[in-house]
Structure formats: C-alpha cells, structure tokens
Amino acid sequence: MLVAVHTVILLGAIILGARMGSIAIGFAGGLGVLLLGATGVPVTAEAIPFDVIGIIMCVIAAISAMQLAGGMEYLVDLAERFLRRNPKRITVYAPIVTWLMTVLAGTGHTAFSTMPVIVEVAKEGKVRPSRPLSAAVIASQMAIVASPISAAVVFMASALEPLGVGYLQLLAVMLPATFLAIFPMAWVANKVGPELDDDPVYHQRVKEGLVAKPGERADYVAPRGAKASVAIFLAAIVIVMVYATIISDQVGLIPNPTVPRNEAIMAIMLAAAAAIVLATRTTAAEILNTQVFRSGMSACVCVLGVAWLGTTYINHYIDDIQAIAGDVLTAKPWLLAVVLFFAASLLYSQAATAKALIPAALAIGVSPLTALAAFPAVSALFVLPTYPTLLAAVEMDDTGSTRIGKYVFNHPFLIPGVVCIFVSVILGYVIGAAVV
C-alpha cells in the first residue's frame, strides 16, 4: 500500500511541477520530498546532488561573466556568419551551431541567443522556421551529454569510473555519437510540416502584419573585452580537460590529486569568471542581471528538487527495484534507454535524470557499456512542450510555423528528437564497444 502511495507522491510532484513550469519544477520536488518523509521514507541531505548543482552554478557564473563582457554576442556573430553562408541549408547548419556552443558552454541556455538569427536566416531562405528551430533546440539538449564541463557528464564519469570507464572514454563516445546523430535528425526535421509557402497559418499572419521581413546582417563591432572573455573561457575548458586527463586512472600522472576533478572544475570556472571580470573591467554586480545567470540559477533549483525527490524514492526502494527490474534489464538492456527517455521527459534535467536513475541501474547489474550507450536518452527534454528553450523557439518564430498542436504532443520537436536520441544510442553502443 505504501509503495503505491509513495509512487503517487513521486509522479504527482513531477506532474505538478511540469504543469507549473520553470523553477516551480524544483519547488514541486521539494514538496514531494516533504510528503515522502511524512509517509515514512527516510530523507537525508546525502540524496541532494550538491556536486552537480555546484558545477552548474560555477559554469553558469563563468558564462554569465562572458555574456556581460560581450563574449556571447561575439559568438553569436560568428554563428550568424556561418548560418548565412547558405540559408537553404539552415536546417543542417543551425543544429551544428547550437551543438557546438552547448558543448563548449556546458548549458543549453546558449541556444537562446542564436534563435532570432535562425528565424531570420530561415525566412531569408524561404525555409519553414520550425525545421531549423526544432533541430537546433534538440541538438543543444543532446550536446549536454557530450560537454566536458556539463554536470551530467561529470556525474556520469564519476559513476562509471569505478567500473573502468573513464572521463576521456565517456567523451570519446558521446562527442561523435551526439554530433553524428544531428544529420539524420536534421533530415527528418526537414520533412516535418508543409513548406512555408503552403502553410495557411503563415499566410494568415502575413495578412495580419505579424510577420516581419527578414533583416539583413547588421555590421557588428566586438566591444572591448569580448574576444578576451571568450579566450579566457575557452582556455578554462582546455585546462579542465587537461587536468581531468592527467589525474585520470588511465593516465595517472597525478595518482592522488589534492584537488579532485569535480572540485577542480568548480574552482577553474570560478577563477575564469574572476579573470573575465578583471580583464574586461566589467561590473561584477551586473552579472546577476544577465539572462544566462537567471536561467542557470533556476536550473539549479530544479535539479535540487527533482533529483532529491527521485533519489530519495529510489534509495528507499532499491532492493525492490533490483528484484523486479534486475532480470528484465539483464535480458533486455536496451530498456534502460527507454526508462531514461521517459524519466527525462518529466524531470527536465539531464543531470537530475542521470543522478536519479544511473546509480540504481548500475546497482542492479547493468553493464557500463549499456549505461554509457543509453546516456543520450537523458536528453529527452523535448517530449512535453514546456522546456524553456522549446518555448522560446515557439515565441520567436513570428511565422507561426513552430506551434504546439491542441493534442500537446503534436509539435515539431517530438519526431526529430526521438530520431536523434535513437541514433545517438545506437552509435553509443557501436562506438562504445570499440572505446570501452
């Protein structure tokens, strides 16, 4: 009986949070934890992923400093130059840009800056904007599992290292698997929906004067310090990767490091933020007002709430989960990807999903290769059309092509997203078998 009650609390909190949206997902997670505790489930602070939250906060701090210094504008200008090379191929170029920016930044919030450019270039090339926008949003979500500084990757590396799969091996699998999956996903996205000129909604909006004419690329002069901020941030990423390499078990140049990898990432990112502020002479207090900082800190609260809720529930029932799911996952290991897919669609965080489910999967005997290959499935944040970047894409498309149907699930992100995850998982198995 209690199992049913606790399961209802878990699912109820997640659904409530999803309905409220944004930071409220974390609030609902805290409510769920409170109710679980009140009904007999032990609640401890150890279930809170402080390492994940800490990494997100520190990375967001560095990116926000770069944004304030003009570095994000500079990167968007570079992206715009690339996208305008061939507007007809925007559906392929757009996800490449957002994937690359997210891999470097460790957060998908960088996609916000490129969306207006994608819409303008799509209209210029007479391409239905929903196609490149959906591909771009999905690519930015997928890139989280391939970013060397994302909290999800760092946690996954920590979970797999005791089983013989190191940080570098994880990146060696996820980087090509997620990048190559972009291309079949873009091809599918290019088939979704009618052509722009055949869309009655678009023509109606044109008649009503709601569709702006595509603008020409404006002359851009990088502000003082913009290039320096980007250089500092990229240098910090390189330092993180080099340090993680030399302290890894595979390389072992520093067998007992005084600064472990997670702590090093946090310290390096905070140091990078300090260096950007000093080098560009920006006002540190203004960082708090940047769009990236607000979005990133909201993500921290969301991760805290949902990961705490999920981990608390799973830890309490881990023996039952092992008994029920152990044999099933042993016989059909691909089901782990399915479980991660549906969990991520409700938890709205790659890191939170991985934190909640990967330890349990490994505990019941799932192989490291299977866990690694299934890892891209934690990026299924597009299933419910409520994720911030997805909603932003809908709002920024003034043609009305990027719209959510009355049945909720009939939106342009679903099919390309499923294709991207499916291909990434398959490639994860193939590449992982060679690397691990």
The string of DSSP codes covering 183-235 is HHHHHHHTTSS--GGG-HHHHHHHHTT-SPPPPPPPP--PPTTHHHHHHHHHH
**Based on the structure, what is the number of domains in the chain?**
1
- 57-66, 167-176, 397-406 — which is least confidently predicted? 397-406
pTM: 0.84
Whether 7 is covered by a domain: the verdict is no
Residue 304 has pLDDT above 70, yes or no: yes
Q: Is residue 206 included in any domain, yes or no?
A: yes
**Contact between 240 and 295 (Cβ < 8 Å):** no
* 232 touches 272 (CB < 8 A): yes
164 Cβ partners below 8 Å, 6+ apart? 368, 436
Q: Is residue 41 part of a domain?
A: no
Stretch 394-410: mean pLDDT:
75
Alpha-carbon span 304 to 35, nearest angstrom: 16
Task: Count Cβ neighbours within 10 Å for each residue of 201-233 and write b for 16 or more, e otherwise.
Answer: ebeebeeeeebeeeeeeeeeeeeebbebbbebb
d(CA 262, CA 192): 41
- Average confidence (pLDDT) over 376-382: 89
pLDDT range class, residue 325, cuts 50, 70, 90: low
User: In which band, very low, low, confident or very high, does the pLDDT at 256 lie, cut at 50, 70 and 90?
Assistant: confident
Whether residue 102 contacts residue 149, with contact meaning beta carbons closer than 8 Å, is answered with: no
Closest Cα to residue 102, out of 135, 67, 62, 141? 141
**Does 24 map to a domain?**
no
Residues 278-298: tens digit of each pLDDT: 988 888 888 888 878 887 788
Please check whether residue 248 lies inside any domain of the structure: yes
- Angle at the Cα of 320 from the Cα atoms of 315 and 321, rounded to 5 degrees: 70
Give the helix/strand (H/E) hosting 353.
helix 350-363
Which pLDDT score is estimated for 21?
66
Two tokens, residue 193: 């929906």
Q: Which SS3 state, helix, strand or coil, does residue 86 take? A: coil
Most confident of 74-83, 310-319, 380-389: 74-83
| Residue at 344 is within a domain | yes
pLDDT (0 to 100) of residue 270: 93
Tens of pLDDT, residues 215-240: 666 666 677 888 899 899 989 988 98
The token pair at 90 is 């925007």
Q: Which domain holds residue 197?
A: 48-435
| pLDDT > 70 fraction of the chain, expressed in percent and rounded | 94
Amino acid at 177: A
Mean pLDDT of the residues in the chain: 84
